[in-house]
A and B are shown apart, each in its own frame.
Chain A
């Protein structure tokens, strides 16, 4: 097992380089340079100014030189400077937006786990009951509803008409004047709608998965044995079945790691949340290569790490897979 993990970790490095190479090529395939966007359609900018800008950014060099330069700097964890007119360090830009994205994603995932798992278990143990069918429709509704649509509707209801919750943003205008308790409540109030909506969409996947796992486990022989032994249904379900059904669900955590840093640009723009989704989208559209590459690298590291965790999880959960490994 340990050998396997070691092998995977070593493989990660060339894989990472491969990913960065492919990303670099793909983003440069898209026509247009960041300097084009700053200077074209601008009556005050001359061709000479554009050329000057290109040289300053190193964009006049051939692609493989640009890539090599970038890779060299990456080796010392220098992600470079953004090509946007603020010319900030990429790490600064990402670091500013990462916390809020991670916070919302973690809260949302926690909510999903808290709600979906019980729903899945109960649906499985009461298959085809009204609860089962009702919650099936409910969770799929969450999946099927276009987020921005529901977001706007809820904003209108809770923000404009009822005035219970703030409409957008992360904190109120008078935040600095609030007491510490008031500040905590203010931040929480701003996060309620985004987290709820984010979780609502993800309920379907998790609860269905939990349900099907439970259904499968409940039909196993050892459950029948447990029942035959005379154990109460509660013990059977919660002590034996649940634990086994829960294992593969834990591996989902590993797979969810990369999505922790991902934000939805649509979601963030509706809620005016300055997160990773907007940063990434804007960077791609303005061909801000360093920022795009920076985001992709971090995402790649997390994905590879998360996949490794998930595979370890699978192996731990199912001994047969463990033995089948080379």
Chain B
């Protein structure tokens, strides 16, 4: 297998996929905005001004103000950091754990496989929400704890995917060939099986980032998201919920932001998947 060729080829295909490019742009924009937050935000996101409560978009406040008179635009800009962090840390953790268990399980088979799958079953029996609630009740609902909990409760899908891929690929000719040539376990896993198994994992990871962002907004809805006064798109959206017909800006902007970001990640992920998958080569 010619590795440099696979990736260059994939890159070329990705570039031609317009939807994926659009998604990629969104992701890059997110990175840029959250990085430059201190310089981009016109106001201190925590600055309370009770005389300008729930004002509509104006020149002073392009995205309006929230129930405490804080500037929504600044809060949105800083909130992107939460979305980014939640996405990466939570999903990164989940993906790493999932790849580990899935690869081990799929490659070695036998009782190892059985044991790992029973463990997966155990984890799956806990509704993720229950674990998140329990953890938040035990620990402080800080952004880190939330991310770790989302990660630790979300790896099972990845594990199953990786395992399924490994099982299918294990009996493919190229693997049998490599094994016949005397390749070690490690080489087989890392050089041959994993790259081919990565495609669904990548899609799962991007869907996972999307899911993590949505989970964060669900937690904010229930009041157990990030601590005040930290802004997140989820908690701005929740503030807007009770006043949805009055303060439409509190619902529209964070809702759109979540939508566009999640959409972007998904499209990008799908595009990567399409381009990496050797079976889809035209």
A326 to B217 Cα, complex, angstroms = 44
Name the one of B117, B207, B241, B280 contacting A148, with C-beta atoms under 8 angstroms: B241
Contact with A along B233-255 (1 / 0, CB 8 A): 01001000100110000010001
* Distance (whole angstroms) from the CB of B252 to the closest CB of chain A: 9
Name the one of A19, A152, A265, A285 contacting B125, with C-beta atoms under 8 angstroms: A19
Q: In the complex where A23-B126, A285-B133, A320-B168 touch, is A140 in contact with B262 (Cβ < 8 A)?
A: yes
**Interface presence of A231 (CB below 8 A):** no
Which B residues from 195 to 212 make CB contacts under 8 A with A?
203, 207, 210
Chain B hits for A29, CB < 8 A: 134, 138
Interface of chain B, main secondary structure: helix
**Interface presence of A80 (CB below 8 A):** no
Contact with B along A247-279 (1 / 0, CB 8 A): 000000000001000100110000000000000
Q: In the complex where A136-B19, A144-B210 touch, is A266 in contact with B262 (Cβ < 8 A)?
A: no
Q: Looking at the complex, which of A52-60, A68-76, A165-173, A297-305 is the stretch in contact with chain B?
A: A297-305
Interface-central residue, B171, B203, B266, by most chain A CB under 10 Å: B266
**Interface presence of B53 (CB below 8 A):** no
Which B residues from 15 to 59 make CB contacts under 8 A with A?
18-19
Which A residues from 119 to 160 make CB contacts under 8 A with B?
133, 136-137, 140-141, 143-146, 148-149, 152-153, 156
Q: Total contacts A to B, CB within 8 angstroms?
A: 136
Interface-central residue, A144, A205, A314, by most chain B CB under 10 Å: A144
**Interface presence of A216 (CB below 8 A):** yes
A318 to B164 Cα, complex, angstroms = 10
**Interface presence of A229 (CB below 8 A):** no
Q: In the complex where A29-B138, A137-B19, A141-B263 touch, is A324 in contact with B122 (Cβ < 8 A)?
A: no
Closest 9 CB pairs of A and B: A144-B262, A30-B137, A300-B125, A140-B266, A303-B125, A144-B259, A149-B255, A144-B263, A284-B133
Q: What are 6 residue pairs bridging A and B, where the CB atoms are less than 8 Å apart in the complex? A: A22-B126, A265-B222, A296-B130, A299-B125, A307-B124, A326-B114
Chain B residues with a Cβ under 8 A of chain A? 18-19, 109-111, 114, 117-118, 121-122, 124-127, 129-131, 133-134, 137-138, 164, 167-168, 170-171, 203, 207, 210, 214, 217-218, 221-222, 234, 237, 241, 244-245, 251, 255, 258-263, 266-267, 270, 273, 279-280
